[in-house]
Each structure stands twice: as C-alpha cells, then as structure tokens.
Amino acid sequence: HQPEHGGMTQIALAPCSPFSVTTDLMKETARVAKQHNVMLHTHLCETIDEEAFCLEKFGLRPVDYLEDVGWLHDRTWLAHGIHFNDEEIVRLGAAGIGICHCPSSNMMLASGICRNLELEAAGASVGLGVDGSASNDGSNLVNELRMATYIQRLRYGSANVSHLDAFRWATQGSARNIGRNDIGTLAPGMMADIAMFTLDDIRFSGSHDPLAALVLCGAQQADHVMVNGEWRVKNGELVDVDKHALIARHREAAKRLASKAKQR
C-alpha cells in the first residue's frame, strides 16, 4: 500500500456485498481498515431483493446495517446505491459516503436508476464504474459516460443533466470516491492522467463541442493514454503488453471456468 501523494498501488478492503459474507467479517474488515487507514468498498442497495434479505436476516435496512457494522463514514464507497430512501440519502451525504454509479450494469439487470443528483446535493460523492463482467460484458468506461448521461436525463429531465455531469462523475467524483486528492483533474501538482481521442472519425463529423462529441457520438476507445506521466496506450495499442497473448490466456481461462460450471 502506497498512501503517499502519487502512490501507484493503494489497497482497499472489499467484501463483495454485506449479504455474501458474515457480520463478523464486515465488522473485522472495518476494524482493519481503520487500523491501517485504507478504504472500504462493497456493493449495496443494487436490488429490492437485497433490501428484503437484509430486513429478514438482520432486521435492518441496508444503510442501517452498514452503520451497525462500522462502515458509515468517508472511507467507504459503494457500488450501485440505487434503492435508498430520502432519509438514507441525507445520512449517506452527512457521512461523506461515495457511490459508484454503474449505469450499463443497472440497465442490463433492470435493477433501477441511481439518484445521482440527490446524493450529490446531500454531500455524497458520485463516481462512475462498469461493475463486473457478470452484468457488463463491454466494461468500457467511455461508454459508461454516454449511458450515465442518458439514464440520468431519463430520471431528471434533459434540462437537468448534461455530458458535463457525466465527465464530473467519471473524473472528480470517482477520485473522491476512492479517497484520492491527486487525480481526477488536470492541474499543477496532480498526477498526469490524460486520455486523448481523435475526432476525425465519421461518427464525430459536424460536431461543435469536442467533449459533447465524445459522449453523444459514442467514442469507444482512446488513441493515447498517459498514466502518471507515462504513456500506457499509443495509437490505440497497449504499451509493453502483448495483446494477442493476453487474449489467448483470457480465452483459455474462460473455457476452464465454463467447463467447471458445467461439471457443477
């Protein structure tokens, strides 16, 4: 774990969900995270079923359970965060909780729509994520900008959400979610994280605002990516990574998983 400014490896403790592990593990994870001053992460309030399970199993709503196990503070960020009531949103904001909005996953599973604007107004940070391959086979963060813009406009109306909101969630909000003050903006003293896109493809023809074009015209892949001042992608290709060998290993792993699933 590298807690210093610009640290490239920072550890968070992340049980998948409060409903897939024991209460003791949730409490112990909170204790260890506090001892070592690291972040906590889990998935919460993604579906109504989780709420019903929590009430039946613990006699508490999910946010009450989160507080009961010592997770309701500003070192916690939660994936999804769809099914909060008004009172819970106020509490989450007061605690400085982070919420990772996963629009494509939520639409794939028909889970619901995160209340981004209310959460931000209450003081919570809202970031953007792809969730996992079980519910998002694309896992393309640039595409999530587009999906977040559209689904949040569906919730709040076209006059209240723009592509700039999606950029804020993807950059500043996501940085705040994971407790980072050295990424998320382009400014002196910040880590040089830059994604560059060429807008000469026909899909961008006629656009007037390049930032809007990236989102609304459906950019899919950055041409160049710099992470902390070092190029990691050049001309659309990963630097120092054999993509074809990586794909081959991934396919073999997928076959093994599929085979084990059939055996069960």
Residue 49 belongs to domain with CATH number: 3.20.20.140
Higher pLDDT, 264 or 117: 117
Cα–Cα distance measured from residue 249 to residue 244, given in angstroms and rounded to the nearest whole number: 9
The pTM of this model reads 0.93
Give 223's Cβ-side CA count (13 Å radius).
Answer: 8
Is the per-residue pLDDT at 137 higher than 90? no
Domain with 215, as residue range(s), is 192-264
The answer on 198 and 71 residing in a single domain is: no
Q: What is the mean pLDDT of residues 147-169?
A: 98
- Dig out the tokens for 220 from the structure: 């899919």
Q: With cut-offs at 50, 70 and 90, classify the pLDDT of residue 19.
A: confident
Cα–Cα distance measured from residue 186 to residue 203, given in angstroms and rounded to the nearest whole number: 27
Cα–Cα distance measured from residue 210 to residue 227, given in angstroms and rounded to the nearest whole number: 22
Question: How high is the mean pLDDT of the chain?
Answer: 96
Q: With cut-offs at 50, 70 and 90, classify the pLDDT of residue 170.
A: very high
Tens digit of each residue's pLDDT (9 = 90 or more) over 62-84: 999 999 999 999 999 999 999 99
The answer on 141 and 68 residing in a single domain is: yes
Is the per-residue pLDDT at 85 higher than 90? yes
Cα–Cα distance measured from residue 249 to residue 257, given in angstroms and rounded to the nearest whole number: 12
The answer on 221 and 159 residing in a single domain is: no
What's the pLDDT score for residue 208? 92
Which of 186, 206, 227 is the C-terminal boundary of a domain? 186
Q: What's the domain count of the chain?
A: 2
The answer on 86 and 6 residing in a single domain is: yes
- SS3 for 138? coil
The answer on 18 and 68 residing in a single domain is: yes
Residue 259 belongs to domain with CATH number: 2.30.40.10
User: For residues 161, 165, 166 and 169, what is the CA-based torsion angle, rounded to 10 degrees?
Assistant: -130
Is the per-residue pLDDT at 110 higher than 90? yes
- SS3 for 41? strand
The answer on 51 and 176 residing in a single domain is: yes
Cα–Cα distance measured from residue 165 to residue 46, given in angstroms and rounded to the nearest whole number: 22
The answer on 43 and 71 residing in a single domain is: yes
The answer on 62 and 126 residing in a single domain is: yes
Which of 186, 204, 232 is the C-terminal boundary of a domain? 186
What's the pLDDT score for residue 133? 82
Phi and psi angles of residue 117, each rounded to the nearest 5 degrees, phi first: -70, -40
Which of 186, 205, 233 is the C-terminal boundary of a domain? 186
Is the per-residue pLDDT at 134 higher than 90? no
